[in-house]
Structure 1
């Protein structure tokens, strides 16, 4: 019979450790995910290494426990949980549910008590017991059958507390841990102990007397008069502290170890949650075939495989058209096939038939033949690479669905939308093609049926979606903003941006020279040659050869992460060079080599893909390459923009960007008199904020005051919390909280806006941008405080960020129209954050200087003026 093994995890403790060990991360919806990610990494390691037969995650049930009846100030010194962490517990529980791991909490008791009770019970029933926590209190449970793993500074680096380990580390038995806490106390739990008694003294007393009781009853035998006095004076406090530190191993729980059997995770549910949380790097671990659908038999569908284009298929004035491009990067992908559905029938058109037919090409390019599609931009660009100018698109299922519910952003298959609307006669791509390395194109009949079913879904759902857009007062947003924008983005993507490949190679060579020089410097300072990119070798050099203080250890040795090295910066000159070496190394690999990989062989340009239906705020993003993420803080990073140049001689790059657009939107929406006045008078808004918050005149605003004001200004836009502001400014949470209070007192209109938008979200279930884009926030009614708090912050910042996104989209459409009206050759190339980037002949510069700011500033009317700055030059770098 195989050995039974139960793993008991202290949920709150591990989540806290993960939160503070990792930088703040968030997914596309704005949900913070660093604690969940760290917890998941630890959980995956445990399942892999420990292979438990039984498992439980225990959580604290509330703020008060039976210990508060004994000592009201128990855990009284703890700061309020940061909202960025609180909001993650609900999703963490959902993840554990997907893993089929039981969770448990008990009113009036701590997770420690649940774990202690189960650990003792299981060890008596011949289980091997492993306890996982970040809290050393649990080490008192260690025995021959119970090992307690305590995380150190991170979450994957642990110490294994066994009786032998505790004896070696402290020289005492596990049960004496509570005596040690009784004497020295525990500041994290506000256990007082005996003032003046630290770990060293406590251990010395325990080795001599054994327990707190024996120590306080043998005071006259303790060496040192001062210590005797302390032990006498604080005798009751020492005994109380021991009681508080003692884990209750007889808690009235209603489960046993046998109830915690682990049969493995639900791979499909785990993948769904990973996708929602944005854990893309973890998805490959679950490619085990479980994602293949086992749908009920689909309804029969009769379709014609077209071998020769005939009139019937093309005579209708409107039809659904589906163009299948399976590869994600459709700039360099093959078209797998076409499907057309109209009133006369269902047609599958193989690619070789479609692209050889002049009749089909004319139909695709005929603006009078209305076409309903899925992802107009993708279809238009894919066909443009084949020399076909797709026209007549009047409906896009992807964009309509995205506007109606942006929380379903990132949709990659029409089947997802169809099933969501009750149209089930279509399968997902994964079910038909497979996933990852297993992906393959099926034979013609299977492929044709799959594409026809997708086109049929578009045809069937079009009127329903249009009606829903009308009902939501979002038809204008769809018809006047997103639809025309998709066609503009298609042109921008196909046009691409010229890259000076030679310049990139030169930059790469220069970076290589700098890296070689720095490597030589590092080796000289270290007194030995080693692989700087090897954390193991670097750790040995820094902490063994140079004897620098060890900040953190990992399973494989010393931690040499950036946060560790930054703490050592003043200890040795080698550290600063290593940090710079790493930054340049990333520029070389990610940006220089990365850009060279995506330069199109035929055009010498990069053809990025703009993600139009992804973010919940309406913001555009880009991929392959991500041109919105080119680093600008390092001088060497900024220089990468020198490689982006005009595609024609005697042309320039012209860049125009909105100045503080989100803060201007906030001023308009909140209608705060001070903010409005500041923008109307063209004041520096951060200086104005500092003046009002610190109650000083403009001349008395210091650079630090302005820096703090800037942080809180943008923090308000992105849903500020005292914890988030404290991290960005390097101040305490209390100071950050006071700063936010002063800000809201200074700008009461902002406070009123925050209160009213939360009320609006509660009444409607959603919030809106100025152009009627909605974001649904069902969590606003959650009984869970953490989820509700996150929802409230989302309600506050979405109208601001979303309206800013809508404005720049409107500016792009207006700008495209104006360029056409003026009969200019200038072309819109990129949209990056709040910036539009053009290329144009030098002869058109004077016209651009006039019309670009004019069009962008008039894109929408606000209570405060929109302001646009522009610059131009021989490269993107020179236009800044």
Structure 2
């Protein structure tokens, strides 16, 4: 046994629980601690080629021996969170399935067991690696024993590193801890003696015993007094920190050896925990058990063919034209569709069979393109793909129109699992078929060594492309069943697929940005930033880096003496939430917030937007994502135009730089009015809320009248403002704390406000509760159109996670239905534009708003058309209203 790795299981489970963002499996059970623990164990096996590894846990009643010495030992620690307990059991289960030994000794803490194993192995000449961040274990470091911090880039701590970190030798660590104490274990140490003092004293006196024997030689009367009066406490602290190296442990080397394991069982375990990234890593390891081998072999059967002769090309296209549905995939030179060049096209229509047609092969680019144009223009079949909108663009670049789209596996995956952020083909194939696809990096490389797909040998591109389109075909069959079972197929058929080419048209059209005007706005904003910086520096009396959280924290909480509402272990928090609280008391902090807002506009829009202008079209072509939000909302990227502020003069100044290109054109903006509140009235069937919308009055004024119990004529602007805040706050599950912050009122008053609101609108409260109960019962939230959003966190034992899930359960029917509503309207509007052969075009979707670029002679027609389709695409129990605005720039809409 040359090397032995000893993993502090308790340490890594706790670190992962608090250090990794909340993770849950599909049953809503917390898994973040388990995930981090497994990551650590797998890292040792993968990165360090560990073949001897033991995971050590605390034993039952493990604190008894030390609490007999000091009753308060670790007594300050709260019990483990309720949702962490099951993860300890799963950690044991993982170890068993992975062939890793575990050690847990009754009445013994994990670090004592680790120490005993380490010392035993050291005596046998084994190099020992203690994988933990517990500094108690530093006392064991020797020429044969090392500490390994996996969470700090595999930091290896040897004797020299201990000295560098703490200023003492490993054999002095016990005395070091005895002097300074250890807050994490509630070891008292000597009062007023910190780590620097402890290190300095040990450098001078070498040992605690020498120090306690010569207190008069220590500088400072106070320190001398502590050494004299707290001698017993120091000795007790050393005893508490001393590790027991005589714990009964296995002395058989084979116990610590990593055993053979059944990969299929581990795969099932990872599936149960929804650890897709671990599944992917596992599939790249050695072959699994025999049953899994058979399954993989069956999946891997394929016939991938290169079409590089004219006769073969004609024969394939003729064969494809007779199929009802055909899968396709394009290979290109760039991920951005408007910069990419077509390299080749892959086709498939049944699992295991695929063809690749290169443009840079023997046939020649022009002949291939001519054949493809003829095929696509005459084909009666419909096409499917994975993220087929990209392929639609690529083919469009070559003058090829993709008319009939019957399926998209990315959109299908999104509808089935909208809460999952990634729906890339590699991950889906791995999850569905346990198949690791050919990585793109193996073809083109990455970073500075990346090459163009055109330069990759055609045979390699053939295998890659055929595999993509083959597994897209397999996924289509896989997802069709799921969609039908969950009654989601109509959403794909009636909303997402019809919307896809519309979004493609919007992306291709783009929007014109007046670069010169933006630069002018940028100069003005830069001046405002400079004025703010000067005001801030003058207030502080010195210049500092405003973008440094550390320096800003020192200015606010040290120099200015403000009371921090939150602080991390290492530095003051200067997050927006913290600053907004402080700004209520300090005008100086408001200057900081104003500076941050302008600086974000400058970096995100003023500087970045011109870089997005396409060199050939002179317009910005952003990408609209149908799978970007769990509610069904569209998202926007490269650049994200949905986040340009609309309620600030600076944000409106940036919007004013977006214009119709050319004379005789205008923008039309069409915005749903209070759509989520109208949907709340429809869902809840609350009589008062229904009446407010059905009579066409001001909903916020109406709410103020009801909540404050005054006639409509006596509602003040302040009352209306508060009612508006509550109306929209209710939609997003805002509680008393959030409302009190937003209205700058005491929490008790905010609580009363919410209570009164629900008393006046009782069926709204009933709807809220029914959404929660339904989600708890079914695990999902549902929109009016039947879109599902799984909310597994609704069953989480952590109250804060569960509360967040309850808010989602209530908000999803509103926001999700609003998202479906505008998608349906976009489809109807586009159909009408095509039917009438109008010149105007839909160019942007910003949440509940649509922007059109139209010739001036079509303005009147478009206003009527758009308003009619948006207001009548879905019938509710209250009227839907759309506000229409016309302007010569986006800000005017």
> For the Cα contact (< 8 Å) 1:324–1:336, is it kept in 2?
yes
> For the Cα contact (< 8 Å) 1:686–1:713, is it kept in 2?
yes
1:840 correspondence with 2:840: no
The structure-2 alpha-carbon separation of the partners of 1:815 and 1:553, relative to structure 1 and needing over 3 Å to count, comes to closer
The structure-2 alpha-carbon separation of the partners of 1:549 and 1:311, relative to structure 1 and needing over 3 Å to count, comes to same
> For the Cα contact (< 8 Å) 2:326–2:384, is it kept in 1?
yes
CA–CA separation in structure 2 for the residues paired with 1:105 and 1:868: 67
TM-score after normalising by structure 2: 0.68
The structure-2 alpha-carbon separation of the partners of 1:324 and 1:88, relative to structure 1 and needing over 3 Å to count, comes to farther
1:649 correspondence with 2:663: yes
* Residue 816 of structure 2, aligned match among 782, 797, 802: 802
* Residue 372 of structure 1, aligned match among 380, 384, 406: 384
Deviation at 1:538, TM superposition (A): 6.3
1:382 correspondence with 2:386: no
Per the alignment, residue 314 of structure 2 pairs with: 310
The structure-2 alpha-carbon separation of the partners of 1:599 and 1:131, relative to structure 1 and needing over 3 Å to count, comes to same
CA–CA separation in structure 1 for the residues paired with 2:441 and 2:685: 49
The structure-2 alpha-carbon separation of the partners of 1:758 and 1:261, relative to structure 1 and needing over 3 Å to count, comes to farther
1:320 correspondence with 2:342: no
1:349 correspondence with 2:363: no
CA–CA separation in structure 1 for the residues paired with 2:275 and 2:350: 42
**CA shift digits 1:477-507 (9 cap, x unpaired):** 2222111110111100000011111112222
CA–CA separation in structure 1 for the residues paired with 2:553 and 2:792: 48
Per the alignment, residue 658 of structure 1 pairs with: 672
Per the alignment, residue 501 of structure 1 pairs with: 515
Deviation at 1:601, TM superposition (A): 0.5
> For the Cα contact (< 8 Å) 1:539–1:558, is it kept in 2?
yes
CA–CA separation in structure 2 for the residues paired with 1:88 and 1:130: 22
> For the Cα contact (< 8 Å) 1:32–1:88, is it kept in 2?
no
TM-score after normalising by structure 1: 0.69
Tell me the C-alpha RMSD between the 2 structures: 6.7
**CA shift digits 1:785-804 (9 cap, x unpaired):** 77766555443332222111
Per the alignment, residue 632 of structure 1 pairs with: 646
Bigger drift between 349-358 and 861-870 goes to 349-358
SS in 2 for 1:583: helix
SS in 1 for 2:342: coil
Per the alignment, residue 672 of structure 1 pairs with: 686
* Residue 299 of structure 1, aligned match among 301, 312, 318: 301
> For the Cα contact (< 8 Å) 2:488–2:787, is it kept in 1?
yes
The structure-2 alpha-carbon separation of the partners of 1:547 and 1:463, relative to structure 1 and needing over 3 Å to count, comes to closer
CA–CA separation in structure 1 for the residues paired with 2:248 and 2:57: 13
> For the Cα contact (< 8 Å) 2:331–2:345, is it kept in 1?
no
CA–CA separation in structure 2 for the residues paired with 1:177 and 1:416: 43
> For the Cα contact (< 8 Å) 1:773–1:802, is it kept in 2?
yes
1:339 correspondence with 2:346: yes
Deviation at 1:747, TM superposition (A): 3.0
Per the alignment, residue 198 of structure 1 pairs with: none
> For the Cα contact (< 8 Å) 1:650–1:841, is it kept in 2?
yes
> For the Cα contact (< 8 Å) 2:101–2:258, is it kept in 1?
no
Bigger drift between 402-411 and 805-814 goes to 402-411
Per the alignment, residue 410 of structure 2 pairs with: 398
Per the alignment, residue 223 of structure 1 pairs with: none
Q: For structure 1, which runs of at least 5 residues remain unmatched after alignment?
A: 66-70, 134-138, 146-159, 184-202, 214-245
1:595 correspondence with 2:609: yes
Structure-to-structure mapping, 1:114-129, within 5 angstroms: none
> For the Cα contact (< 8 Å) 1:324–1:338, is it kept in 2?
yes
The structure-2 alpha-carbon separation of the partners of 1:633 and 1:305, relative to structure 1 and needing over 3 Å to count, comes to same
CA–CA separation in structure 2 for the residues paired with 1:371 and 1:555: 55
Deviation at 1:621, TM superposition (A): 0.3
The structure-2 alpha-carbon separation of the partners of 1:130 and 1:592, relative to structure 1 and needing over 3 Å to count, comes to same
SS in 1 for 2:608: helix
> For the Cα contact (< 8 Å) 1:206–1:212, is it kept in 2?
no
* Residue 825 of structure 1, aligned match among 839, 843, 851: 839
CA–CA separation in structure 2 for the residues paired with 1:359 and 1:129: 65
* Residue 863 of structure 2, aligned match among 826, 829, 849: 849
Deviation at 1:594, TM superposition (A): 1.1
Per the alignment, residue 826 of structure 2 pairs with: 812
Structure-to-structure mapping, 1:125-144, within 5 angstroms: none
Deviation at 1:304, TM superposition (A): 3.7
The structure-2 alpha-carbon separation of the partners of 1:458 and 1:755, relative to structure 1 and needing over 3 Å to count, comes to same
The structure-2 alpha-carbon separation of the partners of 1:847 and 1:342, relative to structure 1 and needing over 3 Å to count, comes to same
SS in 2 for 1:368: coil
> For the Cα contact (< 8 Å) 1:374–1:396, is it kept in 2?
yes
The structure-2 alpha-carbon separation of the partners of 1:778 and 1:871, relative to structure 1 and needing over 3 Å to count, comes to same
SS in 2 for 1:647: coil
SS in 2 for 1:602: coil
Bigger drift between 295-304 and 332-341 goes to 295-304
* Residue 627 of structure 2, aligned match among 602, 613, 626: 613
The structure-2 alpha-carbon separation of the partners of 1:575 and 1:124, relative to structure 1 and needing over 3 Å to count, comes to farther
> For the Cα contact (< 8 Å) 2:700–2:724, is it kept in 1?
yes
> For the Cα contact (< 8 Å) 1:322–1:451, is it kept in 2?
no
Deviation at 1:821, TM superposition (A): 4.1
Deviation at 1:641, TM superposition (A): 0.6
CA–CA separation in structure 1 for the residues paired with 2:776 and 2:588: 55
Structure-to-structure mapping, 1:686-765, within 5 angstroms: 686-693=700-707, 695=709, 698=712, 709-720=723-734, 740-761=754-775, 764-765=778-779
**CA shift digits 1:620-653 (9 cap, x unpaired):** 1011001111133442232111111002312111
> For the Cα contact (< 8 Å) 2:317–2:375, is it kept in 1?
no
> For the Cα contact (< 8 Å) 2:138–2:173, is it kept in 1?
no
> For the Cα contact (< 8 Å) 2:6–2:55, is it kept in 1?
no
Structure-to-structure mapping, 1:386-535, within 5 angstroms: 386-408=398-420, 410-413=422-425, 415-418=426-429, 422=433, 427=438, 429=440, 441=453, 442-459=456-473, 462=476, 465-466=479-480, 469-522=483-536, 532-533=546-547
Deviation at 1:249, TM superposition (A): 11
CA–CA separation in structure 2 for the residues paired with 1:103 and 1:729: 57
The structure-2 alpha-carbon separation of the partners of 1:659 and 1:114, relative to structure 1 and needing over 3 Å to count, comes to farther
The structure-2 alpha-carbon separation of the partners of 1:597 and 1:177, relative to structure 1 and needing over 3 Å to count, comes to closer
CA–CA separation in structure 1 for the residues paired with 2:745 and 2:232: 39
**CA shift digits 1:130-179 (9 cap, x unpaired):** 9979xxxxx9999999xxxxxxxxxxxxxx99999999999986699979
Per the alignment, residue 202 of structure 2 pairs with: none
CA–CA separation in structure 2 for the residues paired with 1:501 and 1:598: 11
